[in-house]
Amino acid sequence: MLLRLPTSLSEAQRYLAEGAVPVGGATLVWALWQRDGFPEQAMSLRELPQANLREREALGAAVLLHQLDDRMPEVLRRAAATVGTGAVRRTATVGGNIVGSTLRCLLPAALVLDARATVLDRDGTCETDLAEVVAKRHLLLGLRWRDPVTSGYYKAPGEAGGPPPLVVATAVHAGSDGRPRLFVAVRDGYEVTSESIVCRSGPDHTLEALDRTGLGSLPAPAREAVRREVTRTLNRSPDR
């Protein structure tokens, strides 16, 4: 197998056109390749500057999970810190987790940041939403978002080899109309559900409004976790 390491977008586009298979940290595909056979060409973005950004409101797809630091919002840092073992986090990439993994532990965090994705194909780069990235398995270059007022992340205890543990991600953003807006994303099993609402006066009224969204149909344990995490996040917000 020939591993391509582009250092420019034009190189990456050319390798895609030649049939190179995108690969992140290879933590997910290596075993499959050993079983099913290796592709003739693979491509890693680890040498591509645009895929290695680490800023307060931007993160590259080739960044390793253990590299997320204090420049990142709390919800994103905590999500990355819960993925696998330390050895996995030193190899797995942001893009591989969001696009290549069935668990997508970073996806709820990215959703509550209201993140937009920059993707690359043979025609160039474009910006799109995370739902399309996941559905069409685009080659992710990076994420950009608005810095939240506050955020939080909860991941229930889980057993190795067991079902995916419940995840609740929350964030409060300053609204364009001056009213703070609450974003909530929940991974229940393999499904991720997200909603956003204008914050009401007090956590109780906000929770009542949240119950009237799609999150209100979650199983009781998930709804209870949402209520707990939303209350914590709202109580930390200076706009409460």
pLDDT surpassing 60 at residue 211: yes
Paired tokens of 32: 């499959």
pLDDT surpassing 60 at residue 240: no
What mean pLDDT do residues 145-170 have? 92
What mean pLDDT do residues 212-216 have? 96
What mean pLDDT do residues 110-134 have? 94
**pLDDT value at position 29?**
64
> 239 CB contacts (<8 Å, ≥6 apart)?
149, 172, 174, 180, 199
What mean pLDDT do residues 158-163 have? 80
**pLDDT value at position 131?**
93
Higher pLDDT, 109 or 162: 109
Paired tokens of 30: 């290596």
The CATH number corresponding to 2-144 among 3.40.1010.10, 3.30.465.10, 3.30.70.60, 3.20.19.10 equals 3.30.465.10
**pLDDT value at position 159?**
80
DSSP H or E run through 53: none
pLDDT surpassing 70 at residue 191: yes
Higher pLDDT, 181 or 102: 181
What mean pLDDT do residues 3-20 have? 93
pLDDT surpassing 90 at residue 201: no
- Hunting for tokens 């190795």 — which residue is that? 160
Cβ count within 10 A of residue 74: 17
pLDDT surpassing 80 at residue 145: yes
- Hunting for tokens 């939403």 — which residue is that? 129
SS3 state at 140 = strand
**pLDDT value at position 26?**
56
Instruction: Tell me the domain boundaries of the chain.
Output: 2-144, 150-236
**pLDDT value at position 39?**
81
pLDDT surpassing 60 at residue 152: yes
Percentage of the chain beyond pLDDT 90 is: 72
Give the tens place of pLDDT for each residue, 32-83: 666 677 788 989 999 999 999 999 999 999 999 999 999 999 999 999 999 9
**pLDDT value at position 119?**
96
pLDDT surpassing 80 at residue 160: no
**pLDDT value at position 161?**
74
What's the predicted TM-score (pTM) here? 0.92
pLDDT surpassing 90 at residue 170: yes
Q: Residue 126: pLDDT band by 50, 70, 90 thresholds?
A: very high
> 63 CB contacts (<8 Å, ≥6 apart)?
51, 52, 53, 54, 93, 94
What's the mean per-residue pLDDT of the chain? Answer: 91
